Chains A and B, each alone.
Chain A
Amino acid sequence: MTAERIREPGISRVGWGSALLVLGVLLACSVLAIAVGAVDLPVGSVIAELLDRLPGIDITSGLSEREAAILWELRMPRVVLAGMVGGMLAMAGAGFQGVFRNPLADPYLLGVAAGAGLGATLAIAYVPDDSGWVVSPLPLAAFAGAILGVAVTYALGRSATRTYAAATLILAGVAVAAFLTATQTFIQQRNTETFREVFAWIMGALGTVGWEEVRLILPYVIASAVGLLLYRRLMDVMGVGDEEADSVGIKAARVRLVVVAAATLGTAAAVAVSGLIGFVGIIVPHAIRLVLGSSYRVILPLSLGFGAAFLIIADLIARTVIAPAEIPIGVITAFFGAPFFLVVLARARRLS
């Protein structure tokens, strides 16, 4: 090992161990979440039914037609969507932390949440349910609001200093978020009859989703995830600050712009179908950072997997604890995420 070490100075990358671990955790969480619910499906049958769909494999799962329908039409899309949203939020959070060199940065930092909230409130308050829109207006409005929030933040940050300095952008984001939230609160207050609906959306929910939502956000999530992964090494370079990053041959402000754009696209898509789910974007990348190292070559790909697993489990808890009612998933991510994170934090401190 030592001879190998000298030749290869161990630049961080996702090793086989971590890759297998994240895949294993993700698969186990998915199977569990598919099996457990109002009607429990036997885990063995779930695995058989899933394998049966793979090309070249033919297994009889023993599930009844109704059970198979529950699996494919109710549980599966929900698990897939929770995975996509969780992975996306965690990756986007990691991206923001990387380009802002700020451990508290999350994907909602630059006005995504406030913009999406305003868009959703407007859609709920002013677009009647039977308006005959081809696509559902709520996700569209939330998506547009999220993108708009970040675009305005960038425009303001730019006009203030003619640079894209990290601190200026964060401050512009605070101002934009405050303004959008005030507007949203005003509209909310004028339309008190929609309060419950808006509140439920803001706390996050995956209650009514199906394959349609998965198809709706898939292109954005793929584009965003691929974009962020391409920048994993450059995010490590960003760690030395804009000036030193520039001095080794990149344009730090441009990297920040592209990463923010990619992360925002994916976050906006996630928010559009799931509402505002907090905490995933902060704790998942940090837990990985504390245990497996600070390189974005490790953090970004693993955030995708562990973020997905985390939200799949959070959603499982959200829909089973007080079944048949559901707890908002945002409550679960914070309620279980915060203590979990404190444990990781304490352990990591002791190890180092």
Chain B
Amino acid sequence: MSGLGLAEVAVAYNGRRVVDGVSMHVEPRTWVALIGPNGAGKSTLLRAVASLVPYAGQIDIGGVSTAGMTRRHLSELVAYLPQRPVMPEGVTVADYAAIGRTPYVPYWGTESAQDREVIAGVLERLELTSLADRQVDTLSGGEAQRVVLARALAQQSEILLLDEPTSALDVGHQQQVLELIDLLRSEQGLTVLSALHDLTLAGQYADRLVMMRYGSVVSDGTAESVLTEESIMQNYDARVRVVDMGTTGLVVTPLRPDRGP
């Protein structure tokens, strides 16, 4: 089982530091959610972990630095899903999921019987078998999100990087997708690092929250310690009420600024 370690990770775009000295450790089989206002550097940090942007500092998986790994080997360890995955026009669900097998397929080759078995298993697991021949650009939002997850699972990596996996979904589908991710995490022993917009959902699903602002970590810990009215006021400039709902966890609800009597 490989945890994920970040030490003093920094990313600069055109001289501007978007991620500025982030250090954290993600324990194996846990779910850590990155939260923070727009532009805090959450997406960029995920890209750095996937080695999709040049970064300074150290990122390691199970104690091994990712800097020395080939693209291909890193892709066996880490699957990354951006906020708005490209759904290529006319491509079938089965072909799309097969893209996830790329690190295992010989460079100029095609899927082996074993690769096809993995793809079939993933589609079955996510109840997509009946949609295998559908074109991905014709799917509903919820179906599309499951198809994208199928591609990531076909990658059979232990670490899943998810950038706002529910941003395009209604509340019902948000819940379904997050439940599914949590189930897969415990079922397959995945380590999940995700950016999540919705603070309530982040608190409900993640084992730990890391709040970022201006590229740095401002607080890191359990939902109870990170999601305070004070901290949200300070970092989001938002008035909220945080209500403890017991077993359901914390609910963060916005308060409309007082408009007078």
Question: A275 → chain B, closest Cβ, in Å?
Answer: 32
Give the residues in chain A near B110, CB-CB below 8 Å.
Answer: 11, 13, 233, 297
- Known A5-B132, A9-B120, A244-B82; contact A236-B76, beta-carbon cutoff 8 A: no
Which residue of the partner chain B has the closest CB to A230? B108
Q: Which of B8-16, B95-103, B183-191, B201-209 contacts A (4 or more CB under 8 A)?
A: B95-103
B60-114 interface (Cβ within 8 A of A)? 71-72, 74-76, 78-80, 82, 85-86, 88-92, 94-100, 102-103, 105, 107-111
12 residue pairs A–B, Cβ–Cβ below 8 Å: A9-B97, A10-B94, A11-B94, A11-B119, A239-B91, A240-B88, A243-B47, A247-B75, A248-B75, A249-B71, A250-B71, A295-B92
Residues 119-135 of B, flagged 1 when their CB comes within 8 A of A and 0 if not, give 11001100001001101
Contacting pair B99 A10 (CB below 8 A)? no
Contacting pair A249 B133 (CB below 8 A)? no
Give the residues in chain B near A289, CB-CB below 8 Å.
Answer: 90
Contacting pair B90 A293 (CB below 8 A)? yes
Query: How long is the Cα–Cα vector from A243 to B90 in the complex, in angstroms?
Result: 20
From B89, B129, B135, give the contact of A9 (CB < 8 A): B129
Give the residues in chain B near A7, CB-CB below 8 Å.
Answer: 117, 120
Q: B44 at interface (Cβ–Cβ under 8 A)?
A: no
Query: How long is the Cα–Cα vector from A249 to B72 in the complex, in angstroms?
Result: 4
Which residue of the partner chain A has the closest CB to B150? A9
> Known contacts A9-B97, A241-B86, A294-B89; can you find 13 more A-B pairs with CB under 8 A?
A7-B120, A9-B94, A9-B129, A10-B132, A12-B95, A247-B79, A247-B80, A248-B75, A248-B100, A249-B74, A250-B71, A293-B90, A294-B92
Give the residues in chain B near A9, CB-CB below 8 Å.
Answer: 94, 97-98, 116, 119-120, 123, 129, 132
Question: What 9 A-B pairs come out closest when comparing CB atoms?
Answer: A294-B90, A249-B75, A239-B88, A249-B103, A9-B94, A249-B72, A248-B102, A230-B108, A247-B80
Contacting pair B120 A244 (CB below 8 A)? no
- Known A12-B92, A237-B99, A248-B75; contact A5-B129, beta-carbon cutoff 8 A: yes
Which residue of the partner chain B has the closest CB to A247? B80
Q: B32 at interface (Cβ–Cβ under 8 A)?
A: no
Query: How long is the Cα–Cα vector from A250 to B104 in the complex, in angstroms?
Result: 11
